[in-house]
Amino acid sequence: MSTVDWDEVKRLAADFQKAQLSSTLQKLSERNCVEIVTKLIESKLLDVIFTNDGKEYITPQHLGKEIKDELYIHGGRINMVDLSQILNVNLSQVSKIASDLEKHNKGLKIILGQLIDKTYTNKIAEEINDKLMQHGFINVSELTIHYDLPADFLQSTIERELGKSICGKQDPQDSRVFYTESFIARNKAKIRGALSAITKPTPLLAILGQCSVSERIFFCDLQEMKQIPGVVAGKQGTNSLYIPSIYSKSQNEWVDNFYKQNGYLANVKYVLCKCNFSEYDALTRLGISDPANFIRRHFPNENIAFLHSVAVGTSIRDQIDSNIEEAIITGSFIDISPLLPSVFSDKDMEMLLKIAEKKINNNTHVFAKTIVISDAFLQSLNKSFEAIAEAKAKEAVASGQWFQTIAENRIKSKSADLIFENKANKKEDRRKKAITSKIGGGTQGRETKTKSTKKKYLQGKNRDGESDDENTKVLSTKIELKLISLEDIKTEIAKDDNLSVIDDLVDELALYLEQKINNYAISIAKQLAQNNKTTNLSEVEERLNVLVTNIKIFDKGIKHIDKTDQPALTKYLLKSLVTDFVNELFKLAAQQNMLQFPENITTETRQKMLLDLPEDVKEPLTNIHKSIAGNSIDDFLNFVDAAMASCCLVLKKYDKKKERPFILGHKEALLEELNTTQDPALALHLITSILFTAATQNVIHMSGRHVSTVLSFLQTQLQLSTMEILSKYHDMVLKSLTSSDEETKLDIQKELQTGLEEIKNIANNYKQHLKSDKAQENKYT
Amino acid sequence: MVDESTKKTLSNIPLLQTKAGPRDKELWVQRLKEEYQALIKYVKNNKESDNDWFRLESNKEGTKWFGKCWYIHNFLKYEFDIEFDIPVTYPITAPEIALPELDGKTAKMYRGGKICLTDHFKPLWARNVPKFGIAHAMALGLGPWLAVEIPDLIEKGAVFHKDKIDEYKS
């Protein structure tokens, strides 16, 4: 056992020795290795490249080989960044090696950080060729996007391969585009077809859109193709127009024909509406932007006038000229619009007329743009209005409106004129109505009217001499009274059928005439007014003086009568003559102070007028107004002077010398009236008056009611027989008036008729019937 | 204190089981077998890790051991003789490894060139009786001592390289 053990120990010892003697494994630690390699690299004994993680070394030769392998695996194209990641080598090392490789290997290229070899370019060329065949054309810029390669590279590649692996043609204008021959041929055919088919000017853009041919090819082909039937007008580009020669030919023909036929050329869109074919449009389509120039060129020998929208030849102008001349000669007017084709716009006609006016001397007027009116016609028209103007002017003056408006004008500002005019017109109308309705009316109205007509007549005569100078503008512009309204003129003009047919002419003419006629009317009115004022005043003064004298004389007559009867007579006198006088005076005052007054003046109206009168006039007039209501003529006479003075009138002194002739005249008048009358009552009245005058050498103003009073007064003066006859007759008259029985009335009437001659004789021989003239005379004078 | 690498080497050395000294006859054989197996393993390990640093052999009974050890410093190999006896009280007492060449050259050495082991070695050994053997003594004792003392000695000039000695001699 132990020997075995010892053997075993010996064996182990031997093993131990063996183990100790066996060669030691020569192992370098990593640390050492790194150090050694660094040392080697430093000493340039070793040329290796570290991997990215620094754990491996690689020789440049091997890297080159690996790069090539990778390139092959990736189909001939690989990104350097990818390469560096795949090989786990720094990018800079990879690119360095790659550039080395590029230098030594002609098939290799570095493009945009990508390694590309020959096989890849060949592949691309084939692909491009396929694509070209498929689409007919190819654009380098599209390819750059597709392959993500620079255009220059692709360009050069394609150019190199053109004719080899790429069957196509390079666009001569844009080297970046390539076509196949068939594609070009196809497009050419398309374009030729489109261009031949077009018959009217078409924008190239539209053609391109229709054919779906690219712009570039189109223009390229357009230059090559000589046989296209037309021209391209305008700037090069899609905006230009293609004008087929067939179209321009027909255009020219149309222009020629149209001009020959019509003598004018409408060169504006106007025609487009009318003829569905616009000259202007056509010209622009032909590439001539200036139609006027085109026409000039087209008709170099014609004398063409260019208007706003049309060009006109001589024939039409001659026609117009001759028409105008005719109108001038005949003194009428002419509307040229129906003479011209409908395409002529108003503006054209206006221009045409201007041209015509230059030729024909300036004695025409153009209205409503197209109507030529000769001076002569205007004159005649003017004349026809003069009469109306005169009438209106007279009316205005007579109605007092004239004064009123003048006065108001002074007060009112200019701005209010318009309103004023309207008002004035209205008033005028009203007044006109009033006057016409009153013709032959009440005594007072008639009196004033006859007077005014008389005056107008006189003034009308005056005016005849002045009527020639129409143009004298007498009025200042400030006064804008329109005596004749525009409407009046219009209606008057419209009466002429020839004029009223044409639109606007009436209005324009009316406007044109309005000012003239109004000026004329106003000047007349002014003259009238001036004449009126002076004559008026003196006449009124005269009349009033006569009235006052009459009143005085009549008053005297009243005083002969018994005291008891006097008041009644006085009252009558006051009511009749004195009231007349006062009314007259008030009218005058109203006129002078520019007041309105009604035709019939009553006590109430007088009172109203008094309120409106100025203070200085008001007082004396108030006094005189009150005196009418009183009982005494003397009171009235006291106030007359002041009242008249307030109206700028002078009361003439009472002239006794005039008294006698007046009384005689009055008596004569009474006798005359008596002889003509057949009315018993009136006859009795007159006889009574005559007898009173004869008895007292005074006149009496009385009404029929006072006859009996006066007769009883005359009783003492007359012979008994006469008195009896008269009183009997008086009773009969009373009976005839009061009796209700028709029969007795007729009887009495008969008796009165028979007695009429008798009492008339009494009046005619009044002296015989007086008791003792002298005694009476002495007594009463 | 034992450094990391030492610990690792120690763990790679198989532990012994038999507690027997040279006087135990039968058991000593058993022990000696285990000693050899441990040493073989240790040497193999060292060679594998490129850390072969000694040669040992023993007498027939395995009580006396001798050989060589070396240390590389500054790319120079310094070689020293080793010799030690297995004490009678082995394995309770650790063997006293001696480098006779260096006797008197360093303070960390007993008379006769026995190396002065660290304070940790003895308690460590004591704790691991009978598991530790000659291989452990080499790894724990002589290895660290050489690593510390030799560079120091070379610095002091107490130890020369053989070539230099040769140069010096010649």
Question: Is the model's pTM score more than 0.80?
Answer: no
Contacts of A256 (CB under 8 A, 6+ apart): A298
Q: Which residue of B has its CA nearest to A28?
A: B50
Per-residue pLDDT at A237 exceeds 80: no
Supply the DSSP symbol for A593. Answer: T
Q: Is A240 in contact with A232 (CB distance < 8 Å)?
A: yes
Residue B137 corresponds to which tokens in the numbers above?
């003594």
Residues of B annotated as catalytic (active site), given as ranges: 116
List, in sequence order, every beta strand (DSSP E) within chain B.
54-58, 64-73, 76-85
Q: Model confidence over A129-157: pLDDT tens digits?
A: 888 888 777 777 877 888 777 778 778 87
Between chain A and chain B, the number of residue pairs with CB atoms below 8 A apart is 54
Write down how long chain B is.
170
User: Which residues in B132-149 are b (16+ Cβ under 10 Å) and which e?
Assistant: bbbbbbbbbbbbbbbeeb
Q: How confident is the model at residue A466 (pLDDT cuts 50, 70, 90)?
A: very low
- Cβ–Cβ below 8 Å for B56 and A26: no
Chain A residues lying within 8 Å of B25, measured CB to CB: 2
Mean pLDDT of A340-354: 69
Work out how many domains chain B is built from and give that number. 1
Beta-bridge mates of residue A371? A335, A367
Residue A374 corresponds to which tokens in the numbers above?
């000769």
What is the CATH number for B94? Answer: 3.10.110.10
- The A230-233 sheet, strands edge to edge: A202-203, A241-244, A230-233
B113: left (phi over 0), alpha (psi -120 to 50) or beta: left
How many angstroms separate the CA atoms of A680 and A425, rounded? 51
Specify if B9 maps to a domain: yes
Q: Which one is predicted more confidently, A234 or B60?
A: B60
Specify if B169 maps to a domain: no
Residue with tokens 């660094």: A38
Residue A82 corresponds to which tokens in the numbers above?
């990818």
Does the domain at A41-116 match CATH 3.40.50? Answer given as no
Chain A residues lying within 8 Å of B56, measured CB to CB: 16, 20
Q: Which one is predicted more confidently, A652 or A271?
A: A652
Per-residue pLDDT at A429 exceeds 60: no
Chain B residues lying within 8 Å of A17, measured CB to CB: 57
Residue with tokens 């088919």: A197
How many angstroms separate the CA atoms of B29 and A4, rounded? 10
B115: left (phi over 0), alpha (psi -120 to 50) or beta: beta
C-beta atoms surrounding A160 within 10 Å: 13
Q: Which residue of B has its CA nearest to A13?
A: B36
Please report the pLDDT score of residue A515 as a whole number: 73
Specify if B38 maps to a domain: yes
Please report the pLDDT score of residue A471 as a whole number: 38
Per-residue pLDDT at A774 exceeds 50: no
Q: Model confidence over A160-192: pLDDT tens digits?
A: 777 777 777 777 666 777 777 787 778 778 777
Domain residue extents for chain A: 41-116, 120-244, 263-362, 376-536, 561-654, 658-780
**B128 contact A CB<8A:** no
Task: Kindly report the nearest CA distance between residue A25 and chain B, in angstroms.
Answer: 6
Which residues of chain B are modeled with pLDDT < 50?
A: none
DSSP one-letter string for A480-524: ---SS-HHHHHHHHHTSHHHHHSTTHHHHHHHHHHHHHHHHHHHH
**B77 contact A CB<8A:** no
Best mutation target, A1, A4, A20, to test chain B (most B CBs within 10 A): A20
Residue A150 corresponds to which tokens in the numbers above?
């620079």
How many angstroms separate the CA atoms of B96 and A655, rounded? 200
DSSP one-letter string for A422-489: HHHHHHHHHHHHHHHHTTT--HHHHHHHHHHHHHHHHHHHHHHHHTT--S---S-TT----SS-HHHH
Supply the DSSP symbol for A201. Answer: -
- Cβ–Cβ below 8 Å for A2 and B32: no
Range of the domain at B91: 4-162
Positive or negative: CA dihedral A704, A709, A715, A717: negative
Enter the ipTM.
Answer: 0.74
Q: Which residue of A has its CA nearest to B60?
A: A10
* Alpha-helical regions (H) of A108-263: 118-135, 140-147, 151-161, 181-197, 204-211, 215-224, 245-262
- Cβ–Cβ below 8 Å for A9 and B44: no
Find the chain A residues whose C-beta atoms sit closer than 8 A to any C-beta of B.
1-2, 5-6, 8-9, 12-13, 15-17, 19-22, 24-27, 29
